[in-house]
Amino acid sequence: MSSLITDKNVIFAGICAFLIQFSLTATFHLFEHFDNFVNNGELQTGIYEGFFQDDEDDEDNDEGDDEDNDEGDDEDDDEDDDNSNDNNSNTDSNEYTYETSVYDDDSDITTNEDADVKVKSNTKLDFSDVLIVPKESDVSSRKDVNLKRTFYFSNSKRTWTGIPIIVANMDTTGTIDMARECQKHQILTCLHKFYSAEDIPEDLDRNYYMVSTGTRPEDIENCDDIIAKRKPYFVCIDVANGYCNTVLNIISRFHLLYPDITLVAGNVVTYETVKQYYEHGVDIVKMGIGSGSVCTTRLQTGVGYPQFSCILDTKKRIHKNKNIYIISDGGIQTIGDFSKAFGAGADFVMCGGMFSGHSECAGEIIEIDGVSYKTFYGMSSTVAMDKRYGGVANYKVAEGKSVKIQYKGPVANTIVNILGGIRSTMTYIGAKYMDEIYENTEFIRVNNIVNQIYK
């Protein structure tokens, strides 16, 4: 009898232990489920919504401060700007992603799972990835559009009117002969930095050329001499890596010494640095790294930013401040890319390759198998380094290449074609004036832009 009682006690104790263990396990899983709900469910979503609202408020405050600087005719555009800004704000919603639109917001939503990921998920685009959508237009003829645009530069307190296209300051394209021809069309030429004051003729129209300088002491000294003797309206501070802190010091130095000169500087690819440049005295910021036709920076360094998105992303953030102007420098492969750059938000478009190979370019004509060529090379190429600096230093690597361009004859023919292409774009989108292109342009992302069966 006592043995039976002992066995029942053992069984009862086992059942009790099992029930206690089951209760503890169930309680643990219940709390774990509730914790996941709090961190990943509706409560956490509310936290993130507040976070992004704060960001947007900060940006609105920045734009509000900048808005006070708007000048003259810019006030007439405020209503259009507000409408455009409302359109851009749609990019924060789920309706717009890079699968359906190129107007993707640059903000990255961070979750617990990807907080440490260093790769932005938004795909960035080049001009070859998009096309402009035509829309109803009351501009019936290309002769009815006006390609000239008037700018007020708030740092230099100057006004300029012309066609906002700039020939790049490369050895072969940024020449005196090029400037002489381009000024006839009211287009700017950025002269290469190896000209001295004596090389620049006094009768060259200062409205349509820029003097360029590097950041070396000898470059700055040469630029000071040109300013003293030729009194240019524009000076371009040109450096491959615009993110070096010394660039801001040089910008401040030029703005302090020559406050009435319109400063151009670059190259950079992000809004934050564009804003810094403007605050230090720059009126026009040159944007683009690695997008040039004879540039190999992206291959050698892995650094860059697709040119279309570089301009689009920056313009969205400075859109309310009409006093900050940006140049799209590089990435032009076809005439239509000029219009895409303006449509993305560029105020000026700078190009080297499209203007290469002409009679106004430096260099001799080379005959190969009965075909005439001219040499075109990047300013960080081995050819340029050998010519200007005695070779590539052993701590550097060449970031450019040299190519032979089939001779194109006078540049006037190319200019007429470029301007004609932009005029056509404007008739397709109903833009009568250049500053309407950005407001009137809508893009679609495409897999192919042209039928290439007959290349």
Report, as residue numbers or ranges, the catalytic residues. 295, 297
DSSP 8-state class, residue 407: P
Distance CA 325, CA 106 (A): 20
Q: Count H helices, E strands: the chain?
A: 13, 14
| Burial profile 72-96: b = 16 or more Cβ within 10 angstroms, e = fewer | eebeeeeeebeebeeebeebeeeeb
Distance CA 100, CA 108 (A): 17
**Ramachandran angles phi, psi of 186, nearest 5°:** 60, 40
CB atoms within 10 A of CB 19: 10
CB atoms within 10 A of CB 201: 10
3-class state of residue 96 by DSSP = coil
Beta bridge partners of 237: 213, 265
Structure tokens at 134: 């035509």
In which element (H, E) is residue 70 found?
none
Distance CA 1, CA 8 (A): 11
Distance CA 71, CA 77 (A): 11
3-class state of residue 46 by DSSP = helix
One-letter amino acid identity for 148? K
CB atoms within 10 A of CB 139: 19
By the 10 Å C-beta count (0-12 exposed, 13-18 middle, 19+ buried), 449 is classed as middle
Structure tokens at 210: 């820029």
Q: Are strands 234-238 and 187-190 parallel, antiparallel or unpaired?
A: unpaired
